[in-house]
Chains A and B, each alone.
Chain A
């Protein structure tokens, strides 16, 4: 879409960055938000249908593919799908073995879920930015942002899941008392410094999921904005910038998925360690 004037451009960008929101409007009741302002007014009691839909679709796609490969898995010569799946599994297994120092058979599947899910969600970004908003617009759906990881809710949601796992494993391995002791008596092992330690440790604990979420969200959102800006160029000039940026994003997509996964394993590993 060529920018006729500034208003159109701003509208175009805002439109592409707005999620399809379903929620309870203070005055209008339960409905799909028809404008950004309406979505904002809905507050917390709203849900991004596109984010949820696409992310669940990607998660199901991942589980379905891997489940299928698992059912067909033979110990003989593997086929194409099984080969690819096994490559990922082996990669995750190695990553877990080198990063995670405890003994917990659930860490590798958790890492696999994170990695494949984020990778698939990020990959949606390679699709041209106009296709799905246009398609759904024709079908009468006003907003459609298909990349879930450009929605801070999605990344923060996953990070919250990881945070719960960190707390759960910390309590499981060290006991609730042990975990509380770790929070209050490190880094300074003196009862007078307990409040100071608590502040330090709790901030450190909470920063983990927030940094995870914001890193992924920031990278993906910035990339998306650039794609949208490139799409504002005249149609014959788009590919000049779009192609290199998309190729570069193949790297970013997998790298961000990898970083999220690795850091999650590192955090979970730390949760398993006794001090």
Chain B
């Protein structure tokens, strides 16, 4: 084993290789590595943030659903109440109307009866007079007896 110029040659080669490596080889790979590392970290971060967002959104959706369900049931209940109320009102109205009608009819009937009675009374007087004339076959002083007959008719 003889030591010779190869020693120097190797040292020079080493120096050049190291220089080249520092200058041209290491930086691009290292920076790419670190950039990717950052990218992956960002990605993971985003993923966790997204999952958190998703959870939040789900919660919100559930909340909204719950609220709307509650609202719907409220509305339903209100409508139910309102319809019962309306039915009640309608019924009330119908009864009132019916009563009014019945009362009207009754009043009319009463009126009719009264009129009929009046008419009858008037006619009865006449009839009585005619009958009496026939019976008596004589003229009766109409004026003299009219008052009497009217009294009689009023008693009917």
Residues on A lying within 8 angstroms of B by beta carbon are 19, 21, 23, 39-40, 42-48, 51-52, 55-56, 59, 62-63, 66-67, 69-71, 73-76, 78, 85-86, 89-90, 93, 106, 108-110, 112-113, 117, 148, 151-154, 156-158, 160-161, 164
Contacts and interface: CB of A to CB of B under 8 A. Distances in A.
What is the size category of the interface that chain B forms with chain A? 20 to 34
B3 A59 contact: no
Contact of A113 (B9, B21, B28, B32): B21
Contacts of B24: 63, 67, 70
A48 B8 CA distance: 11
A71 B31 CA distance: 11
A156 B21 contact: no
Nearest to A68: B25
Given A63-B25, A75-B36, A86-B33, 4 more contacts: A51-B6, A75-B39, A109-B18, A151-B6
Contact of B26 (A39, A43, A75, A112): A112
B11 A160 contact: yes
A39 B31 CA distance: 48
B29 A110 contact: no
Contact of A109 (B2, B8, B13, B25): B25
A184 B65 CA distance: 83
A39 B2 contact: yes
A40 B2 contact: yes
A208 B103 CA distance: 131
Nearest 5 pairs between A and B by C-beta?
A157-B10, A153-B6, A73-B32, A70-B28, A161-B14
Given A47-B9, A52-B13, A110 B22 contact: yes
A153 B26 contact: no
Given A85-B29, A89-B33, A90-B33, A110 B21 contact: yes
B117 to A, nearest CB: 115
